[in-house]
Amino acid sequence: MKVVLEHLTKRFPSRNKKSNEEVIAANDLTFEIPDGKLIGLLGPSGCGKSTTLNMISGLLKPTEGKIFFGEDDVTDLPAEHRGVGLVFQSYALYPHLTVRQNITFPLENLKGDKKLTKEQMAEKALEAAKLVQIDQLMDRKPSELSGGQQQRVAIARALVKMPKVLLLDEPLSNLDARLRLQTREELRRIQRETGITTIFVTHDQEEAMSISDSIVVMKDGLVHQIGKPQEVYDNPVNLFVAKFLGTPPINVFQGSVRGKDIYIGEEKVLETNSLQLSNDSDVVVAVRPEGFLLDENGPLTLNLDRVEVMGRDISVVSTHPDCENASIRSIIDSDNEVNTDSKTVRFSLKPKKMHIFNKETGERIPFTVK
């Protein structure tokens, strides 16, 4: 089931009595979530992810705009009739019910021709439990389960009615690092197996990148960019998106463009072939950690701090007066030998791994190289 948002907007009245300024939690969102895909809704805390998800689920009424499931306008349809499965950060299981009863719960109230027998319910509950691999725990109470197991019960409960759309709001945030990794891989497997259109909300870019067919990057209620994770990483539309994606983060320098050449300080770091900028001006130059090539004649000189060996790679940690990151991280192959006696280290830059941005607007300025 595809989901379409058209000019979806949510305004909340001001919480501050003195000012009348309202909060636009979701601002004119227009995009489509294709049938059977997993979309990551990604952005910093407070950017409007939960608000957007809650409008799609029907828990929250939009101020403006429309929501379609397939061809059907569901904007005014109550949540219980939308056929969505919901999972939140807190598992919200019924403590006095067993795992089996918790999973069966959404099936108990089905009416008319949807009504199920006890046997049918048990069968569906077991099917959902098997999907998330908790079928051996059916007779336990939530208090007898680990956090990871409890979240699986919550996922099974959301899946038991085979929803048309699965909505997950930071479902892994309460799990420890290892379980978070494991559970996100399982979510991906379950989503592939069931083919349920899924929207996965997270503030964790790595989580979103690893699990999603496409990501929607939001900030301040606005969608900044939509695309496949790799495409967005490689071609961020603006400095916010470039900085939000990637660990270690992109290295951000104050630089300039002179003619067709890109400078950091007085060092010409790249000669371009064409560049969409009419006048020489100051720009932001951003370089991914994997964009540095150790090169003793390279154009960029950094002040060497230390070298961290990470097995497969080496992380060269350095500083530069024009760099806004407290330390610059350059990830290079472990075959490289860095002279740690030297106070400086020189690099050339991979053009595909660097971007320049308008200093005022933050928009990316495209360029090509020879």
Helices (H), 132-274: 147-159, 177-194, 205-211, 229-234, 239-244
Residue 313 tokens, joined: 């790679």
Residue window 327-346: x/- pattern of binding to Mg ion, with contact defined by CB under 5 A: --------------------
Distance of CA 261 to the CA centre of its chain: 34
What dihedral angle (degrees, nearest 10) is formed by the CA atoms of 21, 26, 27, 28? Answer: -140
- Partner whose footprint covers residue 48, from Mg ion, ligand ADP, none (CB < 5 to 8 Å by kind): ligand ADP
Q: Which stretch binds Mg ion (CB under 5 A): 11-19, 45-53, 226-234, 318-326?
A: 45-53
Which of Mg ion, ligand ADP, none sits in contact with 45, Cβ below 5 to 8 A by type?
Answer: ligand ADP
Interior/surface letters 35-49, b for 16+ CB within 10 angstroms, e for the rest:
eebbbbbbbeeebbb
Q: Which amino acid is at 185?
A: E
65's CB contacts (< 8 A; 6+ apart) are: 5, 6, 7, 8, 9, 28, 29, 30, 75
Closest CA to 130 of 119, 122, 141: 122
Site string for Mg ion, 1-40 (x = CB under 5 A): ----------------------------------------
Stretch that binds Mg ion, among 7-15, 48-56, 72-80, 250-258 (CB under 5 A): 48-56
Nearest distance from C-beta of residue 13 to ligand ADP, angstroms: 7
262 interface partner picked from Mg ion, ligand ADP, none, CB below 5 to 8 A per type = none
Looking at the Cβ atoms of 48 and 229, the one nearer to Mg ion is 48
Give residues with Cβ within 8 angstroms of 349, minimum separation 6: 269, 270, 287, 291, 292, 293, 298, 299, 300
* CA 143 to each of CA 131, 152, 168: distance values in angstroms, whole numbers, following the listed order: 21, 14, 23
* Number of residues near ligand ADP (by CB under 6 A): 12
Residue 236 CB, shortest distance to ligand ADP, in Å, is 19
Smallest gap from residue 21 Cβ to ligand ADP (A):
11
Closer Cβ to ligand ADP, 12 or 94, answer by number: 12
- Of the pair 61, 228, the CB lying nearest ligand ADP is at 61
- Using the minimum distance from each CB to Mg ion, give the nearer residue, 173 or 235: 173
Complex with Mg ion: residue 33 or 257, whichever CB lies closer: 33
Shorter beta-carbon distance to Mg ion: residue 50 or 150: 50
Which 3 state secondary structure label does DSSP give 219?
Answer: strand
50 binding Mg ion? (CB under 5 A): yes
Structure tokens at 242: 């470039």
Distance in Å, CB of 61 to ligand ADP, minimum? 12
CB of 7 to ligand ADP, least distance (A): 17
Residue 48 or 148: the one with the smaller Cβ distance to ligand ADP is: 48
Least distance between Mg ion and beta carbon 231 (Å)? 25
Exposed, middle or buried: residue 191 (CB in 10 Å: 0-12, 13-18, 19+)? buried
The Cα–Cα gap between 85 and 168 comes to 8
Which residues inside 2-31 make contact with ligand ADP, applying CB under 6 A? 12, 15, 23, 25
Residue 217 Cβ vs ligand ADP, minimum distance, rounded to whole Å: 12
Mask for 37-66, x = binds ligand ADP (CB under 6 A):
------x-xxxxxxx---------------
Of the candidates 173, 94, 152, 159, the one whose C-alpha atom is nearest the C-alpha of residue 124 is 159
Stretch that binds Mg ion, among 10-18, 50-58, 184-192, 212-220 (CB under 5 A): 50-58
Minimum Å distance from CB 330 to ligand ADP? 32
Minimum distance of Mg ion from residue 49's CB (angstroms): 5
No. of helices (H) and no. of strands (E), the chain:
8, 23
d(C-alpha 211, C-alpha 168), whole Å: 12
Q: Are 90 and 199 in contact, with CB atoms under 8 Å apart?
A: no
Q: Which residues bind ligand ADP (CB under 6 A)?
A: 12, 15, 23, 25, 43, 45-51
